[in-house]
Amino acid sequence: MAFSHSASALSERRQRSAWTEDYLRVRKQSELLCAPLTPEDHVIQTAPEASPAKWHLAHVSWFFETFLLKAYLPGYREFHPQFGHLFNSYYEQVGTFYPRAQRGFLSRPGVEEILRYRAHVDEQMLALLHGIGEALWPIVQQRLELGLNHEQQHQELLLTDIKLNLATNPLHPAYRNDLPSSPRATAVSVEWLEYAGGVHEIGHEGGGFAYDNEAPRHRSYLNPFRLASRPVTNGEYLAFIDDGGYSRPEFWLSDGWATVKRLHWSAPLHWESSNGEWRQFTLGGLRRLNLAEPVCHVSYYEAEAYAAWAGRRLPTEAEWEVAARPLPIAGNLRDSGYLHPAAAVAGQGLLQMYGDVWEHTASAYGPYPGFRAAVGALGEYNGKFMCNQMVLRGGSCVTADDHIRASYRNFFYPHERWQFQGFRLAEDV
């Protein structure tokens, strides 16, 4: 992982220098991701679950300001006394926050002022990193690492929300016109890989950063199972649509079927059909649907319905992690440059476990045995959301390459599909 600068390997001074470089790199990346946007692009919010780009830029700065600068930099002065209210996301223990669904109502502060806010926070963070005493350095380093991972999460959300916001425009504007298309190919044949049952350990193993919801490491009993060698493709999902998948309630959970009717779903998000041809909106604009690519922007309900139609099921998160753990963390992640799922390349064994699409699992998001939320406001980071959501694994094409691991637990509500979400199938032996 990029943010591993252990005391045993580096002197404290070299540690601080390495952490400072990481801080500046991650902070710069957020602004680079917003560089293709117009000022107007930064403001809009087209769904309650999304946020304007400028809000993301400000919120991650608020995080460093709140949990590091106010706590550990003597004499720190806020950039603006109301920014804490505007850019707090959901931390009840540190103050009030502006309604999430109304963030797009705010034309001010503008982008230039938010960039000045970021510069102010960066200047003060550098003073903190260079000036904090030796006794406080361990807790500052711990919070800094969390803050950098938090900003990487918001970089992914930035791209996801930008795509959602641009997709509502009838002009189909591209976020970037220079994004390459993945090669058009015939889908790789699916293999079914078998895994032994028994007691397996899952959860973070230690020795690097992890969020609190990835621990404690614990034993989980699994029956023998098989896992598909790659995710379900657009072409395979299109067969589900053509077979009346969205009009046949026998495949759907009750809540899922109610959602289909209420929201009038008939295809994945960002798909549209014109003159008998399916097209898909991407961060590179509207493109012809590549049948070999993993299906993307489908909810848990849609993934579960497809699995029922196919006579299979979704894997549990424990099954997914047991299968993924021996594999190298590599794939079509953000640094690949596509910012879109790509067709699997022929190979043996499990393909595309990391990158391309976050993979739905059959597991509800809840605490592992022995989990305890951290004391204080930072304990609100993950723990209070452990209800009514489903776990996804593996990262996507907009996940930073150094931000994913086998134990990483993402989570969304079962109806949500604006994230880069897909799935692979499993079956019992």
What's the rounded mean pLDDT across residues 97-123?
Answer: 97
Phi, psi dihedrals of residue 219, rounded to the nearest 5°: -90, 140
Q: Are β-strands 421-422 and 358-364 bridged in parallel, bridged antiparallel, or unpaired?
A: parallel
Question: Is residue 184's pLDDT more than 80?
Answer: no
What's the rounded mean pLDDT across residues 258-269?
Answer: 98
The alpha carbon torsion through 76, 82, 86, 92 (nearest 10 deg) reads 70
Residue 10: what pLDDT?
Answer: 66
pLDDT tens string 313-370: 999 999 999 999 999 999 999 999 999 999 998 888 999 999 999 999 999 999 999 9
Residue 280: what pLDDT?
Answer: 97
What's the rounded mean pLDDT across residues 67-81?
Answer: 96
Provide CATH code, domain 12-167. Answer: 1.20.120
pLDDT tens string 280-325: 999 999 999 999 999 999 999 999 999 999 999 999 999 999 999 9
The domains of the chain are located at 12-167, 192-428
pLDDT above 90 coverage of the chain, percent:
90
As its CATH architecture, domain 192-428 has Alpha-Beta Complex (3.90)
Give the C-alpha distances (Å, rounded to integers) separating 260 from 51, 130, 267.
24, 54, 10
What's the rounded mean pLDDT across residues 105-114?
Answer: 97
Question: Is residue 380's pLDDT more than 90?
Answer: no
> Between 246 and 12, where is the model more confident?
246
CA atoms within 13 A on the CB side of 137: 19
Distance CA 155, CA 104 (A): 18
Q: How confident is the model at residue 1 (pLDDT cuts 50, 70, 90)?
A: very low
Asked if residue 319 lies in contact with residue 260, where contact means CB atoms within 8 angstroms, the answer is no
Q: How confident is the model at residue 5 (pLDDT cuts 50, 70, 90)?
A: low
Q: How many residues are listed for the chain in this entry?
A: 429
Question: Is residue 409's pLDDT more than 80?
Answer: yes
Distance CA 193, CA 319 (A): 12
Residue 9: what pLDDT?
Answer: 52
Q: How confident is the model at residue 13 (pLDDT cuts 50, 70, 90)?
A: confident
Question: Is residue 161's pLDDT more than 70?
Answer: yes
Distance CA 386, CA 364 (A): 8
Asked if residue 249 lies in contact with residue 257, where contact means CB atoms within 8 angstroms, the answer is yes
Q: How confident is the model at residue 4 (pLDDT cuts 50, 70, 90)?
A: low
pLDDT above 70 coverage of the chain, percent:
98
pLDDT tens string 204-222: 998 899 999 999 999 999 9
Residue 7: what pLDDT?
Answer: 54
Question: Is residue 36's pLDDT more than 80?
Answer: yes
Residue 3: what pLDDT?
Answer: 67
Residue 120: what pLDDT?
Answer: 98
Is the pTM above the cut of 0.75? Answer: yes
